[in-house]
Structure 1
Amino acid sequence: MIDAVDNQRRVWASWAGRYGLDAAEVYRVALRTRPIETFAKVAPDQDPRECLAALHELEDEDVRCGVYGAFDGASQLLGALPSGAWALVTSNYEHRVRGRFARTGLPVPRVIVDAAAVEEGKPSPVPYLLAAEQLGVRPEDCLVIEDAPSGVEAGLRAGMTVWGVNTAAAVAGVHRHFTSLREAVPGILAFAGLEGSAAVR
């Protein structure tokens, strides 16, 4: 819902610089795993607690000072969805999600599944399954909106319908593809309006 790609790239580049690591390789791994798993792969000789503390420092500073913008269509979509009808599934942490949403004026859902809520991150289905459980719906009645291969895989493994947005080409496995979030909004709202269904992102 929020365009934070450039922010995350800068944060990970700064973090990689502290440890003398290749920023591009670190970011490639970070896109697919939670931070703790990223540290284990790119800096196995470092104390993961220190790595996480350094990353938290950089990310918190970015939340305070970075420039953020909502994707086109996000305000329209979230303004039409009741807070209990959708969940946010993220590899980040809830306080940062709330900070970024506050910066963009987007509403926050009742259910947020963050990195601290699960032991396995995307592409594991666990985060999406937990979101469905907390929403009180069956996985097969959920719609996942994703733009990353690991998230798409997680949603598919959870047995959910997965639509890809904000990518020029469709991510492998998605049931439908939209080049922008705005293009997908009518379909998402129609799906979420079905009895017993919900949208998770």
Structure 2
Amino acid sequence: MRDKFKPHIFVVDDEQGMLEVVSLILEQVEFECTCFTKADDCLRHLRTQICDLLITDVKMPHMGGMELLRQARQIVPWLPVIMMTSYASVSMSVQALKAGAANFIEKPLEMKTLLAVIESALTQNDPANVLRGKQLTNVEMTVLCLILQGRDNDEIADILQRPASEVESHRSNIMRKLDVNSTVDLERRASAMGLDKIS
């Protein structure tokens, strides 16, 4: 489907059988897949692992798909999220899309439909894929997004609830990986690469 990179997709569903179905489909097109039965586990992994796309069920115990979508986008603001459910309604679809979901699909899943929706979501997220090519981590991409919004280190530290010294370290890593020496150059490079679209 895509030759730029091998997407890593997180899938969340409290039904093990559904996870196995989605995993099998993704493996057939050689996508990396990590499955979770609990939203909390997915959120923990989002903080430390690369994820190019999140697919989640809407109705799950403890934390549903809508809340997972909200919290996941706080960790990785540009992360495309696909919602799936057995009980679709127009109002639910509208609510998911307004919350930032890339798409909304009904179960039972059809392979062609699922792959088409995945391809569309990944294509729309191309600016973030440029960052993947620069080997920026999820945290570094979040810091970059906040820098492009005009936030300083203290503001970013407050938002991410991390020490300012850690934010400064991430900023230095970002500038090194993007080969720039100042914030002005960073903003210019980001704009030239189309990365300002994700801020």
Q: Which has the larger radius of gyration?
A: 2
Q: Give the structure with the higher percent helix.
A: 2
TM-score bracket for the superposition, by shorter chain length: 0.3 to 0.5
Q: Which has the higher contact order (CA 8 A, sep 6+)?
A: 1
Q: TM-score, normalised by structure 1?
A: 0.35
